[in-house]
Amino acid sequence: MKKKLAVLSAKPAHYGFTLNFIHRDSLKSPFNNSNHSPYARIHTSIARSIARANRLATHSQRFGLESNSDGLKSQILSNDGEYLMNVSIGSPPFPLLAIADTGSDLIWTQCKPCSDCYEQRAPIFDPGQSSTYRPVSCSAPECTTDASGFQPSCDEVDRCQYSVQYGDRSSSEGTVATETFTIGSSSGGESVNFPDVAFGCGFENQGTFSSAGSGIVGLGGGSSSLIGQLDKSIGGKFSYCLVTLSSKGTKSSEISFGKNAVVNGDDVVSTPLVTKDPPTFYYLTLEAITVGEESIPFTDGSEFGETKEKGNIIIDYGTTLTVLPADFYSSVVAEVEKQVDGSRADDPSGQLSFCYDAEGFKAPEMVMNFEGADVKLRDYNAWVMVADDVVCFAFRAANLGIYGNLAQMNFLVGYDKEARSVSFKPADCANHD
């Protein structure tokens, strides 16, 4: 029996729904390479993480990301997201499996007629077959830089056009339109119908996009992202629970919105969300990292030494590793090395430099001291097995701070844009209800 579609109202946090959040290397993902061993999947995930962090660092101004006078450009790779989500667009609903990315605001998919597009294994959306597809005019509020996060242009019939260039020179160009988005709930609830969501219908898309994907759903903090457009309907709330890489269960990670995304309980800690430019990214303030009993204050390596700058680290589930400014990273590694019990080893892939023989290895306790929130890491949040006998530190040095997804696994992580906070609650995400 077909599920009835609920019609969305604009009441704050009126709706709550939960979706499977599919890791791109899981067996449920079309990106999965069945010929890869578990360690090969980890190596490719780390490689994507390093590339993503390097791109962000290249275009950073201290710990914020720069924009330019020609409008914002996405400074992430076109194909480096780690998690996928199912949505449908149009009437009747047309299914998409897209990269869900907190490092991007723009929502886009390939559209027919595709004049210059990359190969896509799944069917391509045909706006001509949808009764709810509406191109946005150049005078519409959606066709402004503030609303869209990019510099829009006009075609000869007054339709708003977008063009986005990614850090690896991949690009997507097409028409800005509004469409009905349908999001099904994996928590047993009805599917929810969201009318008039602005998105990019891409007719020219070239670069390193994978044929397995159908586009990008931006979940960033900007007004044009899915979070921004559904803001009133979901009360500005979303949360996720990421299963560990070693999980043997069949349950996927999950992402929740609205009333399903509330994180509460005695063991919840919360830290402020910091407003910075560009608004795409979710900025937190990391005050220190505690290793055992030793606290290492945050420093960005500048002439000012220890800095108390608000918003010095981005929380991003699209990056596998946690990335720290080089001087701070060195201080943390020096303290960890003092306290770790084990023999040094080499990463067979050469990607990570601070590794140990897994046999007899014992790691010190680590706590991320965010402003107002001390988040205690388990060993698998701070260390990653890269071979049967080698374990490596899941942190890396760069020119900015990123709190990556390994550090967030088995935590219920909740974002509340209205309260301007991010909350953490320890959880068993493979068995989380």
Q: Mind telling me the catalytic residues?
A: 101, 316
416: helix, strand or coil: strand
CB 389 within 8 A of CB 357: yes
Using CA of residue 32, residue 406, residue 319, residue 343, what is the dihedral sign? negative
Residues forming beta bridges with residue 352, ordered by sequence position: none
CB-based contact 237:415 (threshold 8 Å): yes
How far apart CA 199 and CA 186 sit, in angstroms, is 24
Where b means 16+ CB within 10 Å and e means fewer, 223-241 reads bbbbbbbbbebbbbbbbbb
- C-alpha to C-alpha distance for 433 and 187, rounded to whole angstroms: 8
Contact 311, 274 (CB under 8 A): yes
Token pair for 291: 């290793």
Cβ neighbours of residue 355 closer than 8 Å, sequence gap 6 or more: 344, 345, 346, 347, 386, 390, 391, 392, 393
Torsion of CA 424, 428, 430, 433, to 10 degrees: -80
- Beta pairing, strands 322-325 & 395-398: parallel
Task: Report the C-alpha gap between 215 and 98 in whole angstroms.
Answer: 5
β-strand pairing of 402-403 with 313-315: parallel
Alpha carbon distance 418, 234 (integer Å): 10
Give the number of other CB atoms < 10 A from CB of residue 189: 15
3-class DSSP state for residue 3?
coil
Give the residues across from 412 on adjacent strands. Answer: 241, 425
Using CA atoms, how far residue 291 sits from 230, 295, 362, in Å, is 40, 6, 13
Whole-angstrom Cα distance, residue 329 to residue 398?
A: 9
